[in-house]
Amino acid sequence: MNTVDINCDLGESYGVYRMASDEAILPLITSANIACGFHAGDPATMRQTVLQALEHHVAIGAHPGLPDLQGFGRRRMDISPREAYDMVVYQMGALDAFVRSYGGRMHHVKPHGALYNMAAEDDQLAEGIAEAIYKVQPELYLYGLAGSAMKQAADRIGLRSIGEVFADRTYGPDGRLTPRSHPGAVIQKTEQALAQVLRMVKEGIVVSTEGSPVSIKAETICIHGDGAHALVFAQEIRSLLESEGVNLTAPGVAR
């Protein structure tokens, strides 16, 4: 039986700006990546999202990003591996304090947005992030783009890593995500996204924007909590995978 995790980026409200679907999405996913205050999120949102995730028995991960609230962490910044290390350690510590305050334990770390994409391509940046996780909590998983520099860095350090695929993003022939600035980077049609998910999970294949099949290992599927139809999309993905006999669980978590 195929086994896969469904993860979602949550806790990305900030101040008076609210992402309304977080609590409704939690019962549909198996792991949550919670914003740590750099690209989105604030202390009250972090606390509330952690508490809700624990109530729904969803595995909790830190979702560290670049210090860019205005750009939602999706604008690239010229940072060094040491700066990436410091940012990840700082944000992990903030979220972990909330998790521990409710008697929980953190499960994974997944970088956000531009930091994620930069580390998927840059060996040294990826190593800075993997080292940060390993030195703080070596038992955690690193969620990284399947086949990317992040997973390779984790392997070198001895950190457990999970290959992530995206339900609503297109891929180039090199297996990398199409940059959001390019046309067609985000899949708008639900049927197309569902078909892509099923093929990645069942066949280990994604069709690139050029029409070529690309091998991919789908260990966790990301759905975005900030999308206009995030809740419906989460419901449909879960329903599809369950109907296909796929076992849904977070890595290392017994169900």
Domains in the chain with CATH codes: 3-248 (3.20.20.370)
Asked if 45 contacts 89 with a C-beta cutoff of 8 angstroms, the reply is no
The pLDDT tens digits of the residues spanning 31-79 come to 999 999 999 999 999 999 999 999 999 999 999 999 999 999 999 999 9
Q: Could you tell me where the DSSP H helices lie in 102-229? A: 113-121, 123-136, 149-157, 190-203
Residue 245 pLDDT greater than 80, yes or no: yes
The span from the CA of 136 to the CA of 61, in Å, is: 14
| Higher per-residue pLDDT: 55 or 228 | 55
The span from the CA of 75 to the CA of 68, in Å, is: 8
The pLDDT tens digits of the residues spanning 139-197 come to 999 999 998 999 999 999 999 999 999 988 999 998 889 988 898 898 988 899 999 99
Give the single-character DSSP code of 26.
G
| pLDDT at res. 15 | 85
Residue 225 pLDDT greater than 70, yes or no: no
A 10 A CB-CB count for 188 gives 11
